[in-house]
Structures are given as structure tokens and as C-alpha cells.
Amino acid sequence: MKKIIIFLAIIPFIWGCDEDFLEERPEDFLSSTNAFTTYADFTASVNNLYYLVRRQFYNRDENRPFDFVYGTDLVFDGEPGGTQRHGNMVQAYDPAGDIATTHWNLLYKTISEANTIIERAPLSEMTEEETIDIVSQARFFRGFAYNVLATLYGGVPIVIEEIKEPKIDFVRASKNEVLQQVIEDLSYAAQNLPSITEAQDGRINNLVANHYLAEAYLSMGMNSEAIATATVVINDPNTGLMTSRFGSRSTEEPGDVFWDLFRRGNQNRANGNTEALWVIQFELDVQGGGIQSGSRGGSYAAERHFAPLLRFAPFNSWPVGDYTGGRGIGWGITTEFYTNTVWGNDASNPDFVNDIRNANHNFIRIFNRDNSSALAIIADEIGRDSVWSTETQPRIREFYAYPTKVTTPYNHPEGLLRPSSVPFALTSAAGATYTDQYMLRLAETYLLRAEAYLANNQPQLAADDINVVRSRANASAVDPGDVTLDYILDERVRELGLEEKRRLTLMRTNTIYDRVMRYNPFYVDNGMQEHFNLWPIPANEIEGNRGAVLEQNPGYN
């Protein structure tokens, strides 16, 4: 009887409570319910979106950032790495492999975090101005991620709300529907992000949003809109191609303005660079900064991948931080197309000699005592004025031409120099490119608008834009009648080689199969197929999506 009395006494208390009596309210620990309250909370989440971009395109691990260069017309694998690189293309693009799966996951993680920010921002304690600042950045990253997804995979599931419970019934939208979402997000970002003069270095601004918006318009066949949007970027009075020498090493010879663009400390607007639109920031010996004075860990290892491994006689395996390529290991050997064909093949072509982007200090072909302290010592030891040219040697992992933008000649962090009789000798821990990295610069916008003009049947205006870029490089002007999509893709190689995300450009223009078949015999011999114009939908996404059919791209199992 006593138990019954106690139970009945409790009932009125329960019935008299508010409905949220049993709802947990965290007050002294971080949870999903209190993590998005203040402007500082949301800023921390937005900062992670920047980190996700850097992680995917620059420093996730040894291989994934370079998936946007391998398998294209620029380089081939000096040490084929199976599914980790692109030497065996059927393996590399297996739906269950790391390449397609990792990038899919990183892009959707970006979208997922952006959705959370966008949905929760209006419910926070932020002011209207703070809310717009946060949401415009989140919508930029969501639009950016969907643009990359549409380029790599075609139509994909569109998710624009925070997912708060398991969902296993995703379906693919069409590519045009995805691009329409990109346009909506980037239009909002372009209208609400700060101007390039207001945004600190490394932060996205309205011009960056406009560039990628123009790219999305072009992918949709909306050529006039693409032209108008790219024009906003080009006509901004605070931007302009760098045409005179500048920055930290501008008095050094040999050198020119193109060489200056890629030297340490020269990438940001704070350093006087009006060409930079979006620069990925790396900080030396700062936690999370990506660059360490005694290691390449967490950095952008372009030097390691794309500079040659000088280890045959007479070089004796000396990694040297001068014009021998630093601590390169020759994984990404430049193609004949990239090193010769695209420049006009040889010195009988005036542009091969006059185009500053092809000068030997910008694109190393000749290794000699004048541009290498190590080779000067070797030349003295063997008693001759030695000159080694990539044009007279086999194109092998140990010896090939490479662009100096991927390394840091004479300017590696001091912690990577080792005691040696060879000046600038490096430890085995080197291999990064010790500079901030251009995600986007104005030269690319000119070439994008030229592409839009060409698609809009305005070849004269397309030629005018291309010639702005070529004039800065001291290259001859192109005639309107010679402007084709192929020519624009070639010009992007000359200006942006190993800098742009080449795979995205070729997939966006549906030319990767054609360009590889013409210009990269290594991949022709290693399984290049036409359906590689799109990557596969990851197998685990299809298998786990049990509530609906997530269709695979044609050509994949």
C-alpha cells in the first residue's frame, strides 16, 4: 500500500511540470545546442571551412592534393603508385578506391558544415551584420563545393539543410540542377561578401565569388552572364596584373615579374600584389600554419612531387635548395607537351625565347654552374665547365625540365639546411613549396572571360583578354582567328601550369580524355578511357544508400 501512495504522489508533480522538464540543457560543457550562439562561435566554424579547402587542395596527405594534376596533360608518374596516384588509371578510378571517395567525402563535409552554419545563424545571438558576414562565407563554400562536385562527378545529391538524423535515400540531381544551386549560393556570396580591400589576406571576398560564379554560368551555357560577372572582377579598380618587378627579391638577376609572383612573401595584397584574388595561407612554425622550419609535414609538397630527383652521376644524390629543384623526388615528370610543345618546341620559335614564363629561371631546362652552387662544385671537381640540359637527356625521374614556381630556390627555411660543403644543401625532411599558394589570381579570370567570349562568338574580345596575359609575358599577340578552346587551354598551361587545378579545368570543359590522348602517352598506355571525363560515385555511398537508388556514372561497375 505504501508503494501505491508514493506513486500517486508523484503523478501530480509530473503532470504539473512543463513539457521540457526532461530536456537536457548543457550549461557547463560544449554541445550541438550551445555551440552556435555568438559571432565567435560561428567564426570558429567558418574557419574550419577554410581549413577543409586547404586540407583538400593543398595539405591533406602525400597524394590527394595532387589528384588535380596527375592524370592530365601536364605530368606523368615517375613512380606509379597504384590506387594512390594515377599510374594505373583503372585502379586509380575504381569506385571503391581512395581518390574518388576521399574527395567526395571532403566536399560533402564542407557542405554539411556550411548547412549547419546557414541554418543556425538566424537563430543565434548575432547582429544582422554579423549574420550576413557568416552566412555569406558559408554559402560561398557550399556553392564552391557543389561546383567542384558537379565538375568531378556530374549530377549529385543536393542537400541544403542540416541533416539531424540518419538518411539513406539520397538521389542524384541533374548536373544543371546542381549548377543552379551553385549560382544561387555564389550570387548571394558575391552580393554580401566584403570587397577585396576590406577582406584580410586569405579570406574570400566578393571578387572570388564572382569569378567562380562566372565559371558556373559558363558551365550552364549562360555566356553573357559569365562575361558580365567576370568583368566585375577584371574591372575592379583595386585589381590588376602585376607588370613590374616587385617584392622580396625584385633586385635579383636573373628574374622578372613572373618570377617575382612565386617568391616567398610576395603572394598577398599586403605585399603589394594586386593580381592575387584568393591566397591560401601558410605560416612558418605556427601551430596549424602548415610550414615547419625542420619538416615538410602538413605543408604543400609540390617541390617533392614535381621537381626532379637528381641522384645519378655526377649529381650524387645531393638535394640542394637552388635551381636543382630542392628536395624533389620526381614523382610528377613533366610531359613533352608541357615542356616543349606548348611553348613552340624550340628556339626557332620567337615565343620559345621571348616568353618570360619559359625563361630558364622560370622553367629550368639547363643545369649549370651559373644557376647552381652544387653544380659549380661538381664542375670544379671533375675539371670541366659542365652544363647539363634536359633537352639532350632522357626524360626520366631523375632529370627533366620543371617550373620553378613549385620550389623555393635559395630560400628554404634555415632549419632545413644541413652542414655541408655544398651551399644550400637540404636535409631529407625538405620537399615542400615554402610559400603561400594562389588558389586564384586575376590572370585566370582573364582567361576564363576569354573562354566565355569565344563561346559567345566574340573571338576578337577573347583574343583581347588573352593578349593582356600574353603581353605581360612578352609573348606575341594571338590573332582572333587563331583563338579556339584548345588555344585557351594551352594558354592556361603557359600561365597557370602546376598552379591551377588542371583536372577541374579539363573536366569542366569535357576535354580531359582528348587532351590526355593527344599529349600524355604515359596515360594512354596505362588505361585512359573516355568515361574518365567523370569520376565514379563512391561505391560505399551507393551501397549504404539503401532507401533509394544512387546511380553510378556510365562506364563504372
What confidence category does residue 12 fall into, taking pLDDT thresholds of 50, 70 and 90? very low
Q: Within a domain: residue 413?
A: yes
Enclosing domain of residue 413: 283-435
Judge if the upstream peptide bond of residue 459 is cis by omega within 30 degrees of 0: no
Cell numbers for 200: 584580410
What would the mean pLDDT of 290-312 be, rounded to a whole number? 88
Q: Within a domain: residue 303?
A: yes
Helix (H) or strand (E) holding 532: none
pLDDT of residue 422: 84
What would the mean pLDDT of 81-87 be, rounded to a whole number? 79
Indicate the average pLDDT of the chain: 91
363-391 burial, b for 16+ CB within 10 Å, e for fewer? Answer: bbbebbbebbbbbbbbbeeeeeebebebe
Q: Within a domain: residue 324?
A: yes
How do residues 114-148 score in pLDDT, each as one tens digit?
999 999 999 999 999 999 999 999 999 999 999 99
Contact 335, 73 (CB under 8 A): yes
Q: Which of 21-25, 291-295, 316-320, 345-349 has the lowest mean pLDDT?
A: 21-25
pLDDT of residue 8: 32
Q: Within a domain: residue 483?
A: no
Q: Within a domain: residue 133?
A: no
What confidence category does residue 313 fall into, taking pLDDT thresholds of 50, 70 and 90? low
Amino acid (one-letter) located at 315: F
How do residues 473-484 score in pLDDT, each as one tens digit?
999 999 999 999
54 pLDDT more than 80: yes
* Three-state DSSP class for residue 165: coil
What confidence category does residue 346 fall into, taking pLDDT thresholds of 50, 70 and 90? confident
pLDDT of residue 383: 56
Helix (H) or strand (E) holding 348: none
What confidence category does residue 82 fall into, taking pLDDT thresholds of 50, 70 and 90? low
Q: Which residue has the higher pLDDT, 373 or 417?
A: 417
Could you tell me the end-to-end alpha-carbon distance of the chain, in angstroms, rounded to an integer?
A: 69
374 pLDDT more than 80: no
Domain count of the fold of the chain: 1
pLDDT of residue 6: 30
Residue labelled with grid coordinates 577584371: 234
What confidence category does residue 32 fall into, taking pLDDT thresholds of 50, 70 and 90? low
For 394, what's the count of Cα atoms within 13 Å in the CB-facing half-sphere?
A: 5
Residues 334 and 400: their CA atoms lie apart, in Å, by 7
Q: Within a domain: residue 369?
A: yes
CA distances from 41 to 117, 162, 235 (A): 10, 17, 36
What would the mean pLDDT of 408-429 be, rounded to a whole number? 90
pLDDT of residue 33: 62
Residues 240 and 64: their CA atoms lie apart, in Å, by 32
CA distances from 470 to 110, 137, 442 (A): 36, 33, 13
Residues 117 and 441: their CA atoms lie apart, in Å, by 28
In sequence order, which residues have a C-beta less than 8 Å from that of residue 335 and are 6 or more positions away?
A: 73, 74, 75, 76, 519, 520, 522
Q: Within a domain: residue 143?
A: no
20 pLDDT more than 80: no
Q: Within a domain: residue 425?
A: yes
Which pTM value belongs to this model?
0.93
What confidence category does residue 291 fall into, taking pLDDT thresholds of 50, 70 and 90? confident
265 pLDDT more than 60: yes
